[in-house]
Chain A
Amino acid sequence: MKPAPFRYHRARDVEGATALLAELSDEAKVIAGGQSLVAMMNFRLARPGHLVDITGLRELDHLGVGADGGLRIGALTTHHTVETAPADRLGAGFGVIRDAMRWIGHLPIRTRGTVGGSLAHADATAEWCLLALLLDAELVAHGPRGRRHIPAGEFFFGYYTTALDPDEILVEIVFPRPAPHAALTEFAERRGDFAIVSAAVDLAVDGGDIHGGRVALGGVDAMPVRVPAAEAVLADGGSFRDCAEVAASAVDPPSDGGGSADYRKHLIRNLIERACEEAMSR
């Protein structure tokens, strides 16, 4: 189908974009890569009266490790840019982020889709949302009242719902520290489809021993979730298998067209163990 009519505005700077959003209120949507929004508009699931195109704001297209050791990625950076980033720009210990990119859609989606767009869209199975939660990222939002840093744990409210105000745009995501022993894996019926379940772990490894770790899941709730019970197993020196079993018992996934709750638990058991092994072998 074709999208409903709208007015198109091309933002020249971040201030202008947020001022326009404030003026247009909830009639406007921000468009960047458009890989989710244009599909929704073509289906007329979304009918914004105004689009504010921020793709011209090249200052939001950047990627690099800061002096504090954190990885800063501009909101307009495409998945493909991250996927093909040279090791010296991505920084040691952030390989988990680069390797997760291959799970996002397909190549022609990754060349256009952006990091910020994915986070702001907040699909429950989106890889960026899972990475943000797992690695304790900070999301930087800019609005008419200035800039604020939102911890990933407070950013996702539910299906396609985030802490962003209608007149704010996401400008940057900051991964505060390297995660040399982390991995993300997932399962979909066909390569490039939305994951039925995705699993990610970040192991705390010292001298070859595991001292704990973080465990996060996508596709089991309205937003990515951490699984404290499974993290406790890692902290207590339990096996990857036990960690995976406990995670599967700790969550209450939905039954829907993607699969039954039991099937999702089966996936969780396998995917968490696989992610732990991948993370350990890094």
Chain B
Amino acid sequence: MNDTTGLGDDVQLITLDVNGTSHEVITAPRRTLVDVLRHDLGLTGTHVGCEHGICGACTVLVDGLPARACLMFAAQAEGARIATVESLADSGTGTGTGELSDLQRAFTAHHGLQCGFCTPGFLMLAQGFLAERPEATKEDIREVVAANLCRCTGYQTIVEAIDACATARRSQRAAGAEEDSCN
């Protein structure tokens, strides 16, 4: 799809589905997804750390699965559903109350962050992981958080936050199932 804009070889028009909203972006092919999210769409919640896939600060969801936004060109994300950290809180759509999600509240309650630089990446990693593996054990969580770097917490509080969120979701589902069976 080179030069579909007629604006020259180095520019392309792409359409990205980010947090349920469609965006048209004119950009250079070498622009990574994380740079387009931050610079073109102004979604600065996603952070940029190492830019080579090691630190995980830029983790977003691509079709529901966690992925490194620094290791994808934005053009490669066309046709996929992208979700960033801005989608978690109720205000993500611009019409909500601004209430943080259960996962975000668990990070607050368990002090799962200190400086906060890595937090958006950990949140999206956990969000995607728990969606696929709601039954994950603390050991599973411990293994999955090795994907991202945190230099403040020593990981213990991050693991506890994700585990607490997973446990609460499981008991909510169990309570819901019980209620359903009573009705």
Residues of chain A touching chain B, judged by Cβ–Cβ distance below 8 Å, are: 1-10, 31, 34-35, 38-39, 41-43, 51, 53, 55, 80, 84, 106-109, 111-112, 190-192
B52–chain A nearest beta-carbon distance, Å: 4
A8 contacts B1, CB within 8 Å?
A: yes
Q: Which of B10, B56, B71, B129 contacts A35 (CB 8 A)?
A: B71
Q: Which residues of B contact A51 (CB under 8 A)?
A: 29, 73
What's the tally of chain B residues with a CB closer than 8 Å to chain A?
Answer: 34
Q: Which residues of A contact B59 (CB under 8 A)?
A: 108
Whether a CB of chain A sits under 8 angstroms from the CB of B164 is no
Q: Which residues of B contact A31 (CB under 8 A)?
A: 73, 76
Whether a CB of chain A sits under 8 angstroms from the CB of B43 is no
Q: Which residues of A contact B9 (CB under 8 A)?
A: 7
Main secondary structure of the interface of B (DSSP, over half): mixed
B132 to chain A: closest residue by CB = A84
Q: Which of A1, A39, A108 contacts B66 (CB 8 A)?
A: A108
B66 contacts A34, CB within 8 Å?
A: no
Residues of B25-65 contacting chain A, CB below 8 A: 28-30, 32, 35, 51-53, 56, 59, 62, 65
Q: Which of B51, B73, B125, B143 contacts A191 (CB 8 A)?
A: B143
Q: Which residues of A contact B51 (CB under 8 A)?
A: 1-2, 42
Whether a CB of chain A sits under 8 angstroms from the CB of B89 is no
A5 contacts B125, CB within 8 Å?
A: no
Q: Which residues of B contact A9 (CB under 8 A)?
A: 1-2
Instruction: Flag B6-25 by CB within 8 Å of A: 1 or 0 each.
Output: 00011010000000000000
B35 to chain A: closest residue by CB = A2
Q: Which of B29, B32, B56, B128 contacts A7 (CB 8 A)?
A: B29
B53 contacts A3, CB within 8 Å?
A: no
A107 contacts B129, CB within 8 Å?
A: yes
Question: Provided the pairs A6-B29, A39-B71, A106-B146 are in contact, do residues A111 and B66 lie with their beta carbons within 8 angstroms?
Answer: yes
B52 to chain A: closest residue by CB = A39
B146 contacts A42, CB within 8 Å?
A: no
A190 to chain B: closest residue by CB = B146
A34 contacts B2, CB within 8 Å?
A: no
Q: Which residues of A contact B125 (CB under 8 A)?
A: 107-108
| Cα separation A164 to B142 with both chains bound (whole Å) | 39
A8 contacts B12, CB within 8 Å?
A: yes
- Name 11 interchain pairs, CB-CB below 8 A, sorted by A: A2-B30, A5-B10, A34-B72, A34-B76, A38-B73, A39-B52, A39-B71, A51-B73, A107-B129, A107-B147, A191-B146
A5 contacts B1, CB within 8 Å?
A: no
User: Which of B29, B71, B146 has the largest count of A CB atoms less than 10 A from its CB?
Assistant: B71
A53 contacts B76, CB within 8 Å?
A: yes
B147 contacts A3, CB within 8 Å?
A: no
A101–chain B nearest beta-carbon distance, Å: 13
Whether a CB of chain A sits under 8 angstroms from the CB of B75 is yes
Question: Provided the pairs A3-B30, A55-B76 are in contact, do residues A38 and B71 lie with their beta carbons within 8 angstroms?
Answer: yes
Whether a CB of chain A sits under 8 angstroms from the CB of B150 is no
Q: Which residues of B contact A3 (CB under 8 A)?
A: 30, 32
Q: Which residues of B contact A38 (CB under 8 A)?
A: 32, 53, 70-73
Residues of B79-102 contacting chain A, CB below 8 A: none
B6–chain A nearest beta-carbon distance, Å: 15
B75 contacts A10, CB within 8 Å?
A: yes
B9 to chain A: closest residue by CB = A7
Q: Which residues of B contact A2 (CB under 8 A)?
A: 30, 32, 35, 51
B71 contacts A34, CB within 8 Å?
A: yes
Whether a CB of chain A sits under 8 angstroms from the CB of B118 is no
| Cα separation A166 to B73 with both chains bound (whole Å) | 22
User: Which of A8, A34, A53 has the largest count of B CB atoms less than 10 A from its CB?
Assistant: A8
Given contacts A42-B32, A112-B71, 11 further A-B contacts (CB under 8 A): A3-B32, A4-B30, A6-B30, A9-B1, A38-B70, A108-B59, A108-B68, A108-B125, A109-B68, A109-B71, A190-B146
| Cα separation A184 to B89 with both chains bound (whole Å) | 42
Q: Which residues of B contact A35 (CB under 8 A)?
A: 53, 68, 71
| Cα separation A186 to B129 with both chains bound (whole Å) | 24
Q: Which residues of B contact A1 (CB under 8 A)?
A: 51
Q: Which of B2, B28, B132 contacts A5 (CB 8 A)?
A: B28
